[in-house]
Amino acid sequence: MHAVDATLHALADPTRRAVVGLLRSGPQQPSQLADRLRASRPVISRHLRVLRRAGVVVEELQQDDARTRVYELRAERLVELRGWLDEVTAFWDSQLSSFKAHAEKRPRKTRR
């Protein structure tokens, strides 16, 4: 559950969710993310650090320039989160189905 907790924490911030949204189209440099989100590079850097520590993104060095970093999504964390959400959804679907069955069994009172 620790991985799901870290992922939920990382995705709780709207800017980090926006970063994840941008990274869905492919790997990007922090400067590209900052430009697209109209945020400062230090701000984006802090958000990327949180996402990286949670395992949501991975940082890679460019082969041609070791000073350039590129970030990309790490699907495993999102798959784990999806699995947890599916479990919660299944639980509530079951609860609501039971409630519906119970409500439909009760005799209806007629008005006079």
pLDDT tens-digit profile of 2-44? 889 999 999 999 999 999 999 999 999 999 999 999 999 999 9
| pLDDT confidence band for 83 (50 / 70 / 90) | confident
pLDDT, residue 91, reads 64
Residue type, 66: A
Q: What's the start-to-end Cα distance of the chain, in Å?
A: 55
Q: What is the mean pLDDT of residues 80-109?
A: 75
> What are the structural domains, with CATH classification, of the chain?
2-105 (1.10.10.10)
- The pTM (predicted TM-score) of the whole model is 0.74
Tokens of 57: 């993104």
